Amino acid sequence: MSVDTYLVTVSGPDRIGVGAELFAGLFDLGDTARLIDVAQITIRGTLVLCAEVTLESDVGEQELSRALAARRIEGEGMSVRVERAIPAEAMAGRRLLVTLLAPTLQAGTLAGVFGAISAAGATCERIVHLASYPVDCYELIVLGSDHARLRELLARVAQIEGIDLAVQRAGLHRRAKHLVVMDADSTLLQDEVIDLLGEVSGRAEEVAEITAAAMTGEIDFAEALERRVALLAGLPESALSDVRSRLRLAPGARTLLRTLSRLGYVPAVVSGGFVQILAPLLGELGVEYLAANHLEVRDGFLTGRTYGEVVDRAGKARALRRFAEEVGVPLEQTVAVGDGANDIDMLSVAGLGVAFNAKPVVQEHADAALSVPYLDAVLYFLGISREEIDDPAP
């Protein structure tokens, strides 16, 4: 026997028991009715509750309406509408998640975003307000067939409006990204450790100049590391503790790490910095996975050399792959966050690469970019709401 599909929409001032009444009415139809999908939103006390239902053709719309009317859902401003659902073939396409955030998001910006969605021949199926502080963040579920065109148009809007925007494949895999790998200097930390070491060694200007060139990709990171570490020769080992005590975490860093751990994600740090500086700090923060360079120390003084495998641009990508294997997740279920040119390979390898307050050359190789100073904004790209972040439950 053939079936027809209907959309039942209940809307009006919310009250206790509306959902129970709707589903009881559908249950009254027995095996002739099958519930396919349900969606609900309540804004300022106004409810919109939708149910997609298939009915055997000989039952019909009138029987469905009578069953719902018998449950007395309507009244006191509440209405029930029954209509034929749009055929599935008319909704062809694949779903994408579009996450947009900025200090504030106003109607003009959303008009530009939705204009881009329309111009790409796509539609928005659902809107979720993930956060209203410290940034405004919305997640859109968008249905369309030309994903390349949609990404292009949305990127243009993001640039014009000055907002951060990410486009990802929809699906449960997004919440299954169990490994989040981040850079240390100027990402997890506000500081560049090598520059602080340069200050205590009296070679600050020379070190900072090389650092700047390396971060923009003007010189190879491995060469920059060798040259800068050489400038530290003769520095007493005790200076490492002094530098460690001066480190400042990025705003939102503790919140990010705490939330990741509480929700079952595994945080990791892959850095071109130094194990002797980072390991004690990360131990306090509960981060078990670290890949960084080792400073050589003899007789209590730095020799101006490193030892072991150099964690440079390629080394960061290798470390991400190694951690993913150790944690037991595929690469598409990893996230990488970084700001410098030596993070590009890592961002490209990860399932989601996030450029955090990064140079344009880095943003070009990332799936998403954040220009806000709050590191915990990365959580919104995982679909984690502010409510979940602030949840005090363990």
> Which residue among 164, 183, 312, 367 is the active-site one?
183
Catalytic residue among 28, 146, 164, 185: 185
Q: Within its chain, how far is the Cα of 292 from the centroid?
A: 24
185 is catalytic: yes
Q: Would you call 195 a catalytic residue per the annotation?
A: no
Q: Which residues of 273-282 are buried (b: 16+ CB within 10 A; e: fewer)?
A: bbbbbbeebb
260 residue type, one letter: L
Task: Please report the beta strands in the chain, taking only residues with DSSP state E, as ranges in sequence order.
Answer: 3-13, 33-43, 46-56, 79-84, 94-102, 123-131, 136-144, 164-169, 179-182, 266-274, 289-298, 301-307, 334-338, 352-356, 368-370
Using a 10 angstrom Cβ sphere, with 0-12 exposed, 13-18 middle and 19 or more buried, the burial of residue 394 is exposed
Q: Report the alpha-carbon distance of residue 134 to residue 251 in Å, rounded.
A: 11
> Measured between alpha carbons, how far is 297 from 303 in angstroms, rounded to an integer?
6
Whether cis (ω within 30° of 0) applies to the bond prior to 134 is yes
Q: Which amino acid, one-letter code, is at 52? A: E
The amino acid sitting at 275 is V
Please, what is the Cα angle at 308 between 303 and 312, to 5 degrees?
100
Catalytic annotation, residues: 183, 185
